[in-house]
Amino acid sequence: MTDQTTQYKQQQYPCASCGARLTFAAGTTALKCPYCGFEQQVVADETREVREHSFDQWLAGAQDKPATQIAAHTVTCTGCGARSETDKLSDLCPFCGAAIVVEPDADVMITPEAVLPFAITSAKAMDLFQDWVKSRWFAPGSLKSLAAREGIQGTYLPYWTYDSDTMTMYRGQRGDYYYVTETYTDSEGKEQEREVQKIRWYPVYGQVERVFDDILVSAVKRLPADRVEKLEPWDLPAVVPYQPEYLAGYQTLRYEAEPPEGLANFKRIAERQIQRDCADDIGGDQQRVESMDTQWNSVTFKLLLLPVWLAAYRFDDRVWQVMINARTGEVVGDRPFSKLKIIAAVVAALIVLAVVILVVSLLKQQQS
Ligand SMILES: [Zn+2]
Ligand SMILES: [Zn+2]
């Protein structure tokens, strides 16, 4: 554990016009003043480039270091002078709302190598959220106004990306179809012939190779993994080298899964592809892959930040969470159902059914 009050290097970007603190304006390449609208271009820092770490080298170096789990650290706002605690890489001052970006020491924890900057503004995200709520069947009417009141939070989620050249020896079985002619007696007692498909299995073994590049593995545990996965795909070609300016005005979560845990998840994802490769290699009509032995060569990884608008709201004594991909606008979420609306729909359906039964029985009475 690191010291609870560790001081990290921190960045704030004063407005040259009014002295307030600038934030990164989504969809642009500029910092903008939330008060006077002054804009300042983010100057690309040429010394920064996206570098991937060798996993083996990192592991060798990590042996003698203490685990760096997520202690809160103190930041001092240069806007209002208030000291506060945060466990995030960037946050807003809880007193004046000024954007604060923290740059942790690379000796203490892995620092982000790359970032996909926010493209969708909070206003646009709010529209997407409300359209999504409106398009839900049986959503309570009060949800829309509730969602608007609670607001949404721009958050960078940390991801590991992994690369590896793999070579896999496998054993399995190949199934080939063949056909036999069978005789049978048909319903009229006549003897008939038919072709019947059978399968013959042969033991097989072989070798497949595949290069994996930039496979995404979520590094946060506090959000449901299946939900986070649904935010994909991400436009990864638009990733830029990390610069603290892109974080100003947003919350940035620290990674909660350490690199070895990320590696295990990467291997699980990669093995699904390798299994398909083995099946392709086996050929034939059906395949069974019984064992795979994979060499994971030149494993490298990096820390990447991806932008998400998060909305959480209480409804019916439950917390509901909605996430919006801040690049594609895709909305993924959890939603309540209105009991009243469902009951009304069921009652309406029952009335229709009762009327139909009544009409049918009246018609039958007239006929008889
Ligand atoms: Zn200003
Ligand atoms: Zn402040």
The tens digit of pLDDT for each residue in 34-58 reads: 999 999 999 888 888 888 999 999 8
Higher pLDDT, 245 or 225: 245
Residue 145 Cα to ligand 2 midpoint, Å, equals 29
Number of domains observed in the structure of the chain: 1
Task: Give the pairing type, strands 90-92 and 99-103.
Answer: antiparallel
Answer yes or no: is 232 within a domain.
Answer: yes
CA angle 246, 252, 257 (to 5 degrees): 130
Instruction: Show the domain range for 29.
Output: 9-166+208-275+296-340
Answer yes or no: is 182 within a domain.
Answer: no
Say how many residues make up the chain.
368
**Residue 309: predicted pLDDT:** 95
Residue 91 Cα to ligand 2 midpoint, Å, equals 11
**Residue 91: predicted pLDDT:** 92
How sure is the predictor about 16, in pLDDT bands with cuts at 50, 70 and 90?
Answer: very high
- 1-10, 26-35, 78-87, 309-318: which has the minimum mean pLDDT? 1-10
Q: What percent of the chain has pLDDT over 70?
A: 90
Answer yes or no: is 356 within a domain.
Answer: no
Answer yes or no: is 248 within a domain.
Answer: yes
Answer yes or no: is 178 within a domain.
Answer: no
Ligand at shortest distance from the CA of 19: 1
Residue 40 Cα to ligand 2 midpoint, Å, equals 21
Residue 14 Cα to ligand 2 midpoint, Å, equals 12
Higher pLDDT, 167 or 109: 167
Widest Cα–Cα separation across the chain:
99
Answer yes or no: is 185 within a domain.
Answer: no
**Residue 146: predicted pLDDT:** 60
Residue 271 Cα to ligand 2 midpoint, Å, equals 48
The predicted model gives 54-76 an average pLDDT of 76
Residue 243 Cα to ligand 1 midpoint, Å, equals 21
Q: Quick one: which of 174, 217, 203, 213 has its CA closest to 303?
A: 217
Residue 83 has pLDDT above 50, yes or no: yes
Structure tokens at 126: 């709010």
Task: Give the pairing type, strands 114-115 and 23-24.
Answer: unpaired
Answer yes or no: is 44 within a domain.
Answer: yes
Ligand at shortest distance from the CA of 77: 2
Residue 2 has pLDDT above 50, yes or no: no
3-class secondary-structure state, position 121? coil
The reported pTM is: 0.82
Radius of gyration of the chain (CA): 29
Answer yes or no: is 349 within a domain.
Answer: no
